[in-house]
Amino acid sequence: MENSIYIAEDEEKILETVQTFLESEGYRVRGFDNGDALFAAFLEEPCDLVILDVLMPGSTGFQITKKIREISTVPIIILTARDSELDYATGINLGSDDYFTKPFSAMSLVMRVKALFRRVRLDRQELQEGRKGEGGELLFGDLRVNRRTKEVWTGRGEALPLTPTEYNVLLYLLENRDRAVSRDELLDKVWGYGKDVETRACDDTVRRLRKKLEDTQVRVETVWGFGFILKEAHP
Amino acid sequence: MENSIYIAEDEEKILETVQTFLESEGYRVRGFDNGDALFAAFLEEPCDLVILDVLMPGSTGFQITKKIREISTVPIIILTARDSELDYATGINLGSDDYFTKPFSAMSLVMRVKALFRRVRLDRQELQEGRKGEGGELLFGDLRVNRRTKEVWTGRGEALPLTPTEYNVLLYLLENRDRAVSRDELLDKVWGYGKDVETRACDDTVRRLRKKLEDTQVRVETVWGFGFILKEAHP
DNA sequence: CCTTTCCGCCGCAGGATTGCGGGGATCCCC
DNA sequence: GGGGATCCCCGCAATCCTGCGGCGGAAAGG
């Protein structure tokens, strides 16, 4: 199996450490001291995962991300020195699958890499099963979710006013409607790594979400001792 | 859940503060004034997280890290007095999951600990899901088990309400339907290694499981002096 | 047949989990 | 700076789950 990984990082010590960690886990790793060199290598021979620092000589990690995204859907992890470098609003980081804020734990990065590879395998599996409509609207029960406008409509054509967090939770549950989602996963995927929130925080959001979904046919059911799953109410 | 944490820190005040904070969050904490004592205790009974100061009487935190890494993958957090003590290049800190530079806020350490535990839980969970392979349903007798939704259905399409532990036991027996499973193996794989539970506990769970399986064609048969095996009822 | 070990069941109490109301912190927009 | 919206956390109570002690019965083993 032995997945191959490319890393661009100009701080030699960090590069070396990360590389050592990943290689110890059996990955084939190539390091670069700037993003352009990585991109050139990627053109020659693609890899299975890319890790990019934001600030490097030459192109930034975001620019490289964009260039790679034009030709590939390879998973990308971004490393940033400060949280503020992550400008969600601009959407420039769209396409990166994950990010780490320095200083980060090398072991955590490895865990994330392993999880990413597992997820990719899972996605491939689901693709083979012939599902996954990416572009259009998301339908469930009497709900209609427009990912572009982030609007949610009920059957009667009434808009459902959701807060950003509520929307994100609903969307994630929707995208994984066929399985139960654990609290930890929700926290991880909605709130994000590094955020420190109580596990109970997602209970709160789910509670408010439930209240707003009362008049719809969509229910957020509790999977006891685990998490939640979306169900249609069949009366 | 109550995770157990070992801390080695020779500065009594810091040790006491950190210990108090962590205990207030519900963790079981043992403090040591040097790393060697911690390592000895770890050999006797492993814990779920290790926090190590770098500079201590006896072995340094890095040396202890190395020794622990030879026998365990337990998460390790390093405390250092200065950033310069963290020498990435030497790789001597390989294996530590995270680090804090003194002076640090006890609260932020606690937050990091919680995030780490969450990540480990998620990692385990995804690992399990990965191992399960095919996302399909598991069939046995007139039972239908959906591993994604964690639901169990009988022949007539009625849902079987199982508790998490019952579900896990049934699933494990199902995945090993072709052989008898010992009590110790059940305890190991369902309850988890290191848990201190009486063997009788799984008898109880099996009993409750049997009651709920009464109306199905699935039987949990006893293998005398050993454990259990799943059988279909012969009508 | 008798002893020993094992097994299933009962009831219970401690613990874990969850939903809920309320309070306070933060952010954003005016 | 005010006001509102949003979000997170703190207790609390209700519910659900779980491990344990005890007990009687059943299965090996002599």
Q: Which of A16, A105, A198, A226 to mutate against chain B (most B CBs within 10 Å)?
A: A105
- Residues B119 and A199: beta-carbon distance below 8 Å: no
Nearest CA distance, A99 vs chain B (angstrom)? 15
- Residues B25 and B110: beta-carbon distance below 8 Å: yes
In whole angstroms, how far apart are CA B79 and each of B40, B97, B100? 20, 11, 5
Residue ranges of domains in chain B, CATH in brackets: 4-129 (3.40.50.2300), 137-232 (1.10.10.10)
Burial B10-32 (b: 16+ CB within 10 A, else e): ebeebbeebbebbeeeebebbbb
Amino acid A207 CA to nucleotide C25 C1' distance, rounded Å: 20
Whether the pLDDT of residue B234 is over 90: the answer is: no
Q: What sign for the dihedral angle of Cα B162, B163, B165, B168? A: positive
Lowest mean pLDDT across A50-54, A157-161, B55-59, B214-218:
A157-161
Query: Quick one: average pLDDT of B108-114?
Result: 79
The C-alpha atoms of residue B220 and residue B230 are separated, in whole angstroms, by 5
Contact positions of strand D to protein Cβ (< 7 A): 5-11, 16-22, 27-28
In whole angstroms, how far apart are CA B169 and each of A116, A205, B158, B202, B207? 28, 31, 20, 8, 11
Please tell me the predicted confidence (pLDDT) of residue A46.
92
At B68, phi and psi to the nearest 5? -65, -40
Whether the pLDDT of residue A50 is over 50: the answer is: yes
Query: Quick one: average pLDDT of B65-92?
Result: 70
* Sheet with strand B218-223: strands edge to edge: B181-182, B227-232, B218-223
Please tell me the predicted confidence (pLDDT) of residue A111.
78
Q: How many CB pairs under 8 A join A and B?
A: 88
Burial B46-67 (b: 16+ CB within 10 A, else e): bbbbbbbbbebeebbbbbbbbb
- Residues B123 and B131: beta-carbon distance below 8 Å: no
The C-alpha atoms of residue B227 and residue B180 are separated, in whole angstroms, by 7
CB neighbours of A136 closer than 8 A, spacing ≥ 6? none
Lowest mean pLDDT across A98-102, A136-140, A200-204, B221-225:
A98-102
Contact positions of strand C to protein Cβ (< 7 A): 5-11, 16-22
Amino acid B224 CA to nucleotide C3 C1' distance, rounded Å: 18
Please tell me the predicted confidence (pLDDT) of residue B89.
37
Whether the pLDDT of residue B118 is over 70: the answer is: yes
The C-alpha atoms of residue B122 and residue B126 are separated, in whole angstroms, by 6
In whole angstroms, how far apart are CA B184 and each of A93, B1, B69, B131, B208? 49, 20, 26, 21, 19
Nearest CA distance, A43 vs chain B (angstrom)? 30
Report the range out of A183-192, B84-93, B173-182, B189-198 with the highest average pLDDT. B173-182
Opening angle at CA B23, ends B21 and B25, nearest 5: 75
Whether the pLDDT of residue B46 is over 80: the answer is: yes
Protein-nucleic contacts, chain B 129-148 to strand D, CB < 7 Å: none
* Among B112, B134, B149, beta carbon nearest to A180: B149
Q: Which chain A residues are Cβ-neighbours of B135 within 8 angstroms?
A: 122, 125-126, 129, 179
Listed residue (B143, B121, B145, B119) closest to B132, CA to CA: B145
Q: List % helix, strand, coil for chain B (3-state, nearest 5).
A: 40, 20, 40
Q: What is the mean pLDDT of chain A?
A: 80
B166: CB within 7 A of chain D nucleic strand: yes
Q: Which residue has the higher pLDDT, A194 or A155?
A: A155
Q: Which of A196, A199, A223 to mutate against chain B (most B CBs within 10 Å)?
A: A196
Q: Residue B210: which pLDDT band, with cuts at 50, 70 and 90? A: very high
**Binary contact (A119, B126; C-beta < 8 A):** yes
Please tell me the predicted confidence (pLDDT) of residue B22.
84
Structure tokens at A220: 């957020």
Q: Which segments of A45-91 does DSSP mark as H helices, in order?
A: 61-69
Q: Residue B71: which pLDDT band, with cuts at 50, 70 and 90? A: confident
**Binary contact (B96, A118; C-beta < 8 A):** no
Q: Which chain B residues are Cβ-neighbours of A125 within 8 angstroms?
A: 134-135
Lowest mean pLDDT across A87-101, A142-156, A173-187, B140-154:
A87-101
Q: Residue B135: which pLDDT band, with cuts at 50, 70 and 90? A: low
Query: Quick one: average pLDDT of A229-235?
Result: 80
Other Cβ atoms less than 10 A from the Cβ of B205: the count is 20
Q: Which segments of B29-163 does DSSP mark as H helices, in order?
A: 35-44, 61-69, 106-131
Kindly report, residue by residue over B76-89, the tens digit of the pLDDT: 888 887 655 555 43
Q: Which residue has the higher pLDDT, A80 or A15?
A: A15
Q: Residue B20: which pLDDT band, with cuts at 50, 70 and 90? A: confident
**The nucleotide closest to B222 (CA, C1' atoms):** C7
The C-alpha atoms of residue A218 and residue A211 are separated, in whole angstroms, by 11
Please tell me the predicted confidence (pLDDT) of residue B6.
93
Q: Which residue has the higher pLDDT, A64 or A36?
A: A36
Provide the percentage of residues in chain B whose pLDDT is more than 70: 86
Q: Strand, coil or helix: what is B182?
A: strand
Q: Residue A41: which pLDDT band, with cuts at 50, 70 and 90? A: very high
Protein-nucleic contacts, chain B 205-224 to strand D, CB < 7 Å: 205, 208, 224
Please tell me the predicted confidence (pLDDT) of residue B90.
41
Q: Which residue has the higher pLDDT, A66 or A90?
A: A66
| Closest chain A residue to the Cα of B163, Cα to Cα | A224
Structure tokens at B37: 């004592």
Nearest CA distance, A58 vs chain B (angstrom)? 24
